[in-house]
Every structure is written in structure tokens, then in C-alpha cells.
Amino acid sequence: MLFVELALIRWITANNVYVTEATNFVLLASFLGIGIGFLNAASSRDYLRWTPLALLALVAFVLAFPVILHSSTGGPLVFSGVGQSRALPQPVSFAVVFLLTVAVMAGLGQGVARIFIRFRPLSAYRLDILGSIAGIVLFSLLSFLDQPPLTWGVIAACGLAVVLVPKVRLWQVAALGVVVVLLGTQSLSPHQMWSPYNKLTITKRHGNSVLFISANNIPYQGIHPLSAIRRHLKFYLYPYQHVTRASLGNVLIIGAGNGNDAAVALREGARHVDAVEIDPLILQIGRQHHPAHPYQSPRVTAHVGDGRQYLQDTSQHYNLILYALPDSLTALAGQSAIRLESYLLTYEALEAARAHLAPGGTFAMYNYYAPFVLNRYATTIEDVFHRDPCVQLGGLVQGRRMAVLTVHPAGPVPNCAAFWHGTRVAPATDNRPFPYLPGPGIPGSYLLLLGAILLVSLLLVRGAGGRLARMRSYPDLAFMGAAFLLLETKSIVQFALLFGTTWFVNSLVFAGVLVAVYLAVETARWVRLPPPIVLYGALIAALAVAWIVPQESLLGLPIAPRFLAASALAFAPVFLANLVFAQRFSGVESSGTAFAANLLGAMVGGTLEYLSLITGYQFLLILAGILYGLAFVTGRKRMTAR
């Protein structure tokens, strides 16, 4: 069940650009579907039977009606479907994907729930967590091996067929077979590759002299010969107008991509280049196809990893540090997401970059910026380096202007024609790493979407799950679910800051959370737990410690102590929260309904997560504490009676 959830989150996002703007969209649909499935654990309604058809409908719809973004030099964003057809309207695309995802996960949830209720509640939960750990390990292994959706589909189809035994029907097997064929057709396209982060599509243009790379249906990068860069993409050369050739002893490029920047650095005389790129397949594409072969040069050392993590862990100092188009998805705002580059563009990140400049060194960053984003980064540079940055402007693409910002801490930038004197915009910070959000607040489009999701969820739970009164005995479990999702979110973003926003770090955190949950369940099975008020008190104390300890205090630690400290702060509340849950869950009358209440509460927690756009992520710990307090109050009578 968790494997399919992770696969759908990854695959749907890769094919539908709309979904990249709503980071929790598929996750919320999955929680809703699983919750409905658990509400029907003992029902005569058979959702599991129809899951192969629901999965086929979802896969067919996403492939038949993809959402693809096209680059343009100005005006509104242009979205298309297959060929030159217009993409479906966003509300229609959202609605169909959401409902079909709910249908798929409701069937899987019911299949799990039917087995779940045969066991004692805590034993069932223990087995469920073990299965979840297996799901995250398997999906992480496939990510490491750069496996395409065909592999995910084969595993999901075979697993679903086994679940349906002994009542599996020929039409169910046929539906699963068509799912595998459709995913295989997409996966075997000669121009597509699947990295741990993106679906990468390579196309040739201008007489095959230029390769263009799209990531998840969004125009991303182009591989250009040096001659074309000199004629048409001069912004690559702008930073070198402010440094001397003799000074370029050691250059750091963060966001090295396919190799354009490394090729330019070598041409401009850099004697050594450290090229940092987070996506290993993009590095591989550059190594194979770039005409200048920069990654084959003995003067270039390529590093696969997160740029912020590299700055934190390296001891090197550089004459020139470049933030070279560090944008995971250049064409969309992605306001609420922790994107691959979010922690690279905060005030604290630029402080780390300054700390790694050699005496007389220069810092430069360039990208296509919206006006307020350009002002935000210029303000950040001014605050960190205490110098007005030099600004050089280029052309417009989809309302964003190419700009190069350069600063020289030792003095004014040499050969600068114009310094920035624009409107100050508060920098993004490690607590609120949302550089593409103009200010604290939740955009109206997100509020409308979340409101629609909650309304539809209420109707679906009532219509497909039965009377809501069935869950009135478990409001404390619903509060626990909401609070726990916030704890999980805080753990993910904290580890992303401390160790990089890589797929591997995310997988480790998910696995770490599940292991902490499993250890709590085992503890509850074998150890006599203290009264609930003691456990709740310990949980609130752990949340308070995690809130009091500043994140920046961990950043300066060596990697091993940093990991131990981060694990203690993140997983101690998770462990204690699950001791509280296990103690309560062990005595429920209906484990299926109780677990459904917990899952649906987690879905509400997924919407509350958006409050971090206003408050920052640290506040989620306070919100989790409030929710656990409500769980204690609403469950106190039942705990006393028990």
C-alpha cells in the first residue's frame, strides 16, 4: 500500500505539471482513500475487487491527458496535452486525478483492513508498520537504480494480483496487464530517462546541434556549444567580466547541470572547478553529450549532491562561487514546496557561501527571476555581504528576466555598469525557506484547493464510508493523526536542511520515522507503560526541547554528531507519540474504524501543514503540541474508564 502511494506521488507529478504546484495533493488523496478503505473493513461493499480497473483508469487518464508546460518569451504560461492539444482545465484535471487516486487507495486500504481486523489492534499495527518499512525500502532501492515506471507498475500489479487471490478474475488480471503495457510504453521511450528526482526528456533542435532537457514536462536545460553561448547566452560570461583570469585558481559551481557552466569556467581560465549537481542523470547526460566535454577534463571534479550540504561539509575555499541557475523547476512558482534548491537560497545559505570565499573572492548567482524574487536575492546579498550587488539584466522568459547578481566582499565589483538599488524584500530563511512566496501568507489558490479537498473528503467519507457517527468514539485518535503528520513533516524538512534535500535523505527520514514507530509498538507490547498523563507529559517535553534547540546550532557540528543530535530531536517525539498511540489503540473496540479516524486526522494535518507558509516550520512543533493536548483532553474519559 505504501509502495503504491509513493509510486503514484512520483509518477503523477512527473506527468501533470498542475500537481507540482500542490505538493500534498496526491498524499491527501491517498490518506482519504486508505481511510475510506478502513471504514469498510467489514462492509459488504467490495472496493478491493474494482481496484485493478481504478488503477487502469488512473494510469490511462494521466497518460491520455498529461499537462505539459511550453517555454515562451513572455505572456502567460502555456499548457498543452498530447501533441498540440490544449491541456484540460486545471479544476477538471485536479478533480479526476484526486477521485481516481482515492478509488485506487480505497481498494488497497480495504484489502489491508480486512486482514487488519483479524488481529489484535496492536499486533495488526505492528505488521502494518513492518510492511510499510518494506515498501519504503523497495521504492528507495528502485530510485537508486534509476528504474522507470514499468518496474513500479510490474511490482504493484503483481502485488495486487496476489492480494486478490483466491478470488482473482480474468478481467482483473487483464486490467493489470494493460496497466503494465501502458507504463512500459512510456518507460521504453528512447528519449526519456527516470532519475531519482525527475522524468527527463531529451530533444534535439537547431539541426541537432543543441540538446534540450525537460524535467517532469517542464523545459529545464539546454546543452549549448561554447560558440552558441558566446553569441546568444552571454549571461554565462557575465561573472567573468568582474574577475581576472589569473585569480581563477579554484571555482565552485553549484547547480552545474549538464556542464555549460563548467565548460565556460574552463574556457575563462579556471585551474580547478568543483561542479556540484544534485541529479546524477543530468550529470551523466552532460558527460555523454556536451560538445566541450567539461566533465572529462582533469581540471573538473564533479560532485553528486545537494549544494547547501556541500557548503556545510567542505573545507575548501574558492576564488569564485557561482549559483548557476539553481532551480529544480524553472517555469513554476512552486510556492509551498521544499524544492531541491530551497535551502540553497536562504540568508543562512549565503552566509555559508561567504564563509567559503578565499580572500579577494567573488560570489555570483544568476537565473530567470520574477521582479520580487530578484529584489529578494539582491537584498539577501546586501545583508550578508554588506555590499550592493552588481546587477546585469538579460532577456525575458515567461515574465521572468534573466539577471546576474555579483558581489565582491573586499570592495565594489570591478567593471560594474549598474549596482542594484531596488525595493528591499525580506530574505528567505531556514525557518521559512519559501523564496518564491512574496510574503508570509497562504495564496488564495491554495486556500480554494484545500477547501475543495476537505469538502469533497467529507462527502466521500459520508457516502463511501458510512455514518460519521461511527468515529465519534475516536476523536483523540484523529487529533493524534493530524499531529503526527506535522511531526513527520518537521522531521523531513529538518533533515533536508541538515543533510541535503536529496531523495536519499528523504528515504532515510521516512524509514527512520517508521522504525521509531515500530520500536514504540514493540515497547508497548512488552513493557508495562506508565499512565497516559506521564506519556503525554514526556511527549510535550520532547516537543518543547525540539522547539527550543535552534537548528543553526546543529549546522556547525561534524556530520556524525549532527546526525545523532538531529535524530534525537526528531525521533524522540515520534517514539513517544507512538507510545501514546499504541497505549490507546491497544484497547479500541473496532480497530478498522479507529485506524480510519487516525488516517483521516492525518489528512487534516496535511492541510494544516500549509500554515508553515505564514509561521515557518518551527511553529509546526507548537501546533503538534496543541493537537496532542486536544487528543489528551478528548481521550481522557475513555482512558480513565479503561
Q: Nearest Cα to 436, choosing from 361, 373, 525, 358?
A: 373
Burial degree of 86 (CB within 10 A; 0-12, 13-18, 19+): exposed
* Integer angstrom CA distances of residue 507 from 77, 141, 584, 630: 33, 10, 29, 31
Residues 67-106: pLDDT tens digits? 988 765 555 678 888 877 889 999 999 999 999 999 999 9
Task: Please tell me the total number of residues recorded for the chain in this structure.
Answer: 642
Burial group, residue 252, by CB count within 10 angstroms (0-12, 13-18, 19+)? buried
Residue with cell string 534525537: 568
- Reply yes or no on whether the pLDDT at 320 is more than 50: yes
Q: What is the rounded average pLDDT of the residues 403-414?
A: 93
Per-residue pLDDT of 249-283, as tens digits, reads: 999 999 999 999 999 999 999 999 999 999 999 99
Task: Give the model confidence (pLDDT) of 231-251 as tens digits.
Answer: 888 999 999 999 999 999 999
Q: How far is CA 46 from the centre of its chain?
A: 34
Going through 521-642 in order, the beta strands assigned E by DSSP cover none
d(CA 338, CA 23): 9
* Confidence (pLDDT) at 331: 35
Distances (CA, A) of 222 to 53, 217, 392: 40, 14, 21
Residue 389 contacts residue 407 (beta carbons within 8 Å): yes
Output the CA angle 628-632-633, nearest 5 degrees.
120
Confidence of residue 555 (pLDDT cuts 50, 70, 90): confident
Q: What is the pLDDT of residue 43?
A: 86
Q: Average pLDDT, stretch 32-50?
A: 92
Nearest residue to 260 (alpha-carbon basis) of 237, 231, 279, 280: 237
**Is 70 exceeded by the pLDDT of residue 317?**
yes
Neighbours of 384 (CB within 10 A): 20
Residue 166: cis peptide before it, omega within 30 degrees of 0: yes
Answer yes or no: are the C-beta atoms of 101 and 33 closer than 8 Å. yes
pLDDT at position 333, please? 36
- Residue 464 confidence class, pLDDT cut points 50, 70, 90: confident
Looking at residue 73, its pLDDT comes to: 54
Rounded CA-CA distance 81/468 in Å is 39
Going across the sheet that includes 273-277, the strands are 300-304, 273-277, 251-254, 318-324, 357-369, 400-407, 390-397
Residue whose C-alpha cell reads 502511494 in the numeric block:
5
More confident residue, 592 or 397: 592
In terms of Cα–Cα distance, which of 92, 103, 104 is closest to 67? 92
Instruction: Return the residue matching grid coordinates 567539461.
Output: 294
Residue of 356, 358, 411 lying closest to 388 (CA atoms): 411
Instruction: Inform me whether the pLDDT recorded for 222 exceeds 70.
Output: yes
Neighbour-count burial of 188, counting CB atoms closer than 10 A to its CB (0-12 exposed, 13-18 middle, 19+ buried):
exposed
Q: Are 372 and 332 in contact (CB under 8 A)?
A: no
Chain centroid to CA 399: 25
User: In terms of Cα–Cα distance, which of 307, 289, 222, 300 is closest to 265?
Assistant: 300
Contact 639, 536 (CB under 8 A): no
The residue that leads in pLDDT, 174 or 394, is 174
pLDDT score, position 377: 95
pLDDT of amino acid 327: 64
Q: How far apart are CA 276 and CA 253, in angstroms?
A: 6
Query: Per-residue confidence at 429, pLDDT binned at 50, 70, 90?
Result: very high
Beta strands in 313-356 (DSSP E): 318-324
Neighbours of 463 (CB within 10 A): 9
The per-residue pLDDT for range 589-628, each reduced to its tens digit, is 888 999 999 999 999 998 999 899 899 999 999 999 999 9
Query: CA 341 → CA 279, 321, 395, distances in Å?
Result: 12, 16, 23
> Strand 78-80 vs strand 68-70: parallel, antiparallel, or unpaired?
antiparallel
SS3 content of the chain, % helix, strand, coil (to 5): 60, 15, 30
CA distance 433 to 349: 10
Yes or no: say if 340 and 306 are a contact pair by the CB < 8 Å rule. yes
In sequence order, the β-bridge partners of residue 194 are: 199
The pLDDT, as a whole number, for residue 329 is 46
Q: In this predicted structure, what is the pLDDT of residue 206?
A: 62
Domains, in order of start, for the chain: 1-118+149-187 (no CATH), 199-407 (3.40.50.150), 472-642 (1.20.1250)
What is the C-alpha end-to-end distance of the chain, expressed in Å? 33
Nine-digit cell string for 639: 482512558
Looking at residue 19, its pLDDT comes to 87
Interval 352-390: pLDDT, tens: 999 999 999 999 999 888 889 999 999 999 999 999 999
Exposure string (b/e) for 290-323, b if CB count within 10 Å is 16 or more? bbbbbbebeebebbbbbbbbbbbeeeeebbbbbb
Report d(CA 57, CA 66) in Å as an integer.
Answer: 14
Express each pLDDT in 87-98 by its tens digit: 999 999 999 999
Supply the pLDDT for residue 197.
86
Highest mean pLDDT among 98-112, 213-227, 328-342: 98-112
547/555 Cα distance (integer angstroms): 16
For residues 577 and 585, is the Cβ–Cβ distance under 8 A? no
d(CA 67, CA 80): 6
C-alpha dihedral, 160 to 166 to 167 to 168, nearest 10°: 40
* Alpha carbon distance 125, 599 (integer Å): 13
